Amino acid sequence: MADWQEIPGGITAPKGYRAAGMAAGLKPSGLPDLALIVSDVEAIAAGVFTTNQVRAACVDYCRQRLQAKSSARAILCNAGQANAATGTQGWEDALDSAQSLSQLLHVPPESILLASTGVIGQRIKLDKLKAALPQMIAALSETGSEAAARAIMTTDLVPKAIALETVLHDRPVRIGGIAKGSGMIHPNMATMLAFVTCDAAVSPHLWQQMLSRAADRSFNQITVDGDTSTNDSLFALANGESRTPAITEPGTEADKLEAMLTEVCIYLAKAIARDGEGATCLLEVQVSGAVDDESARRVARTIAGSSLVKSAIFGRDPNWGRIAGAAGRAGVSFDQNDLQIGLGPFLMMQNGQPQPFDRAAANAYLKQAAEGAYLREDTVLITVSIGHGHGSGTAWGCDLSYDYVKINAEYTT
């Protein structure tokens, strides 16, 4: 049984955080497009970023900031323009937006973290962003999580938020988070933004380690379309407002906090995969029997990212051969005579040998999963064993539908 419980409040559930979201005129649609998250006090900050060599100005800005100073007061996120591949002017726009917000919040510019999402090659509409900041600050609220979650959306169909609570040293400790992502989703880091808040006190080095490990088990295990974005950023703030003793070393309390942090990240990662552009169901791939966890995670990612597997799932075709093929090309050595494959409740291969199964029932399983009506709601479960090792890992993705092409064929038009 988990050592935490889900609570309402999202990003503002932890003590000492406020958030807001509004339409600043950055999107042509007029939908909300600017979000702000503020900690009442300086918070320990950690980050994980895209590995793409073409990076948005905000990514380089935040990497530099966190290398120089592992704390922050605010996260400002705009939607509509990615401010990636915008050259020196895009960099100046990032600096200008941070400076403008810092003056209004009366905090150093170094305490501002930035994130952007939208069309690559387009600069932020800086005049509109700066004009909206006073109203945004006035709207900051302890109930502002929903507004902030909606303001960071692009092609997302639904906002994504979660908050969990546990007890450390007889006091409640909370972690909340919001995320966006629907297309350009692939590990390292996937096309996504995620912001996490915590009211525990944690040393900077330990907090960064926790976040990096949580990312490896969550956001780096999701894929929608195989494209890694220019803007992917994951931020986590820990402000100590729970008034619990500071966690400075590995141990029971650190493990408990990291487990809850990982659970928040997994929830948000699955929400992104579930909301994949054009998707009709969530795909969960569980791999076991590997020599180590990283090998298992690699096989799981490869299967979840296979266009052939994803297309078969969309076509409600229980074509387990595509799963076997994807497992075999993952770059992980195993004996094919040890291979076992399951689709939901159906065993399709065991000890490298095909197994008889009810194809009509398996087809119905896929159809019902797409309708959210089967045992695991909208989730198609694929289980794979590749040997007798202790390594295991899970990845999440979605099916590949006609609508994915339609959405992305018209993205800038």
Give the angle subtended at the CA of 91 by the CAs of 88 and 94, to the nearest 5°. Answer: 155
pTM of the model: 0.90
What pLDDT was estimated at residue 265? 96
What pLDDT was estimated at residue 190? 42
Mean pLDDT per 10-residue interval, the chain, length 413 residues = 92 98 96 98 96 90 96 97 94 98 97 94 96 98 98 90 96 97 53 91 98 94 71 95 97 97 96 81 96 97 94 95 97 98 97 97 90 62 98 93 73 54
| Residue from 145, 129, 121, 15 nearest 76 by CA | 129
Three-class DSSP category at 212? helix
What is the Cα–Cα distance from 92 to 83, expressed in whole angstroms? 11
Report the b/e string of 293-331 with b at 16+ CB within 10 A.
bebbbbbbbbbbbbeebbebbbebebbbebbbebbeebe
Q: 248 to each of 126, 205, 208, 226, 235, how far by Cα in Å?
A: 40, 9, 12, 38, 20
Hey, what amino acid is at 354? Answer: P
Q: Where are the beta strands (DSSP E) in 27-82?
A: 34-49, 71-81
Q: For residue 18, what are the contacts with CB-CB under 8 A and spacing of at least 6?
A: 12, 37, 38, 40, 140, 141, 142, 144
What pLDDT was estimated at residue 192? 81
Q: For residue 63, what are the contacts with CB-CB under 8 A and spacing of at least 6?
A: 47, 49
Choosing from 86, 154, 166, 191, the catalytic residue is: 191
What is the Cα–Cα distance from 238 to 154, expressed in whole angstroms? 27
What pLDDT was estimated at residue 378? 77
First CA to last CA across the chain, in angstroms?
49
Domain architecture of the chain: domains with CATH: 5-274 (3.60.70.12), 282-409 (3.10.20.340)
What pLDDT was estimated at residue 405? 73
What pLDDT was estimated at residue 123? 95
Other C-beta atoms closer than 10 Å to the C-beta of 367 total 14
| Residue from 188, 177, 158 nearest 272 by CA | 158
- Which helix H or strand E contains 300, and what residues bound it? helix 293-305
Q: In the annotation, is 191 catalytic? A: yes
Other C-beta atoms closer than 10 Å to the C-beta of 406 total 11
What pLDDT was estimated at residue 267? 95
**CB-based contact 58:229 (threshold 8 Å):** no
Q: 406 to each of 127, 229, 324, 328, 400, how far by Cα in Å?
A: 32, 19, 29, 31, 12
What pLDDT was estimated at residue 149? 98
